[in-house]
Amino acid sequence: MAQPNVEDVVKAIAADTHTPAETVSRMYADTWAEYSEGARIMDYLTVLVAKRVRENLRSTSQHKQ
């Protein structure tokens, strides 16, 4: 299964959430490290990490309003 390019995922999340790419990249890396620790199957990790980062950014955005 081909994994999406991390840069493309980060750019898409940044555009969707109106967040600087540097912030998204840092959050993505932190979440990846958390999720991949002890993971035996990595096939869907990119999708799960991207979903968590989006959710975190959206919840942070809603708290600011």
Residue-range domain boundaries for the chain:
6-64
Distances (CA, A) of 26 to 2, 12, 51, 64: 23, 14, 15, 20
The closest of 44, 14, 42 to 28, measured between CA atoms, is 14
The closest of 3, 44, 53 to 24, measured between CA atoms, is 53
Q: Which two tokens stand for residue 37?
A: 């620790």
pLDDT-based confidence at residue 48 (cuts at 50, 70, 90): very high
The closest of 38, 39, 42, 29 to 1, measured between CA atoms, is 42
For the stretch 9-30, pLDDT in tens is 999 999 999 999 999 999 999 9
- Is pTM beyond 0.95 here? no
